[in-house]
Structure 1
């Protein structure tokens, strides 16, 4: 399992529309895949844009496909400014 950290830019004027859509999408993913997502944002804005981050911990195999389908269904691209960037992290094994 891997942890996903997905960040993207949002124009200030789109935050009110985007927030509920992201939360609804995350609720659907939790019901479908058992992965509860969180939504965060960087404090402040720069050039009228905020940086938002979705976090999904301990994602199972196939979660990427479920997330892609959920994104398309939720229509988030309409309210984001530029691409989504995904960082993938795994736990550090304590076994040698």
Structure 2
């Protein structure tokens, strides 16, 4: 299992239009795949850009592909500035 952290920038003017797209996409992913995503943003904007982060905990190997398809279907790239950056983390195994 892996946790996905995806961050990207959003123009402040586009944030009100992007928010319902991302929340609807995350709700559909939760219904269809059982992965409840979180949506966060940095408190401050810089040069008219907000930084947003989507977090998807405890995903299996196939989820990243399903997420990419959901992002395209929701047309998220049309309202972000630049690329979506995906980071993958896993839990540390405790020492025996």
Partner of 1:66: 66
Count of equivalent residues: 96
Quote the offset at 1:61 in angstroms. 2.3
Residue by residue over 1:68-92, the C-alpha shift from the partner in whole angstroms, topping out at 9 and shown as x without a partner, is 1101100001100000001111000
- Structure 2: state its 5+ residue gaps: none
Quote the offset at 1:31 in angstroms. 1.1
Taking the TM superposition and a 5 Å limit, the aligned residue runs for 1:25-36 are 25-36=25-36
- Structure 1: state its 5+ residue gaps: none
Quote the offset at 1:95 in angstroms. 3.9
Quote the offset at 1:32 in angstroms. 1.3
TM-score normalised by L of structure 1: 0.97
SS in 2 for 1:52: strand
Quote the offset at 1:22 in angstroms. 0.2
Taking the TM superposition and a 5 Å limit, the aligned residue runs for 1:17-56 are 17-56=17-56
**What is the root-mean-square deviation in Å for CA atoms of aligned residues?**
0.8
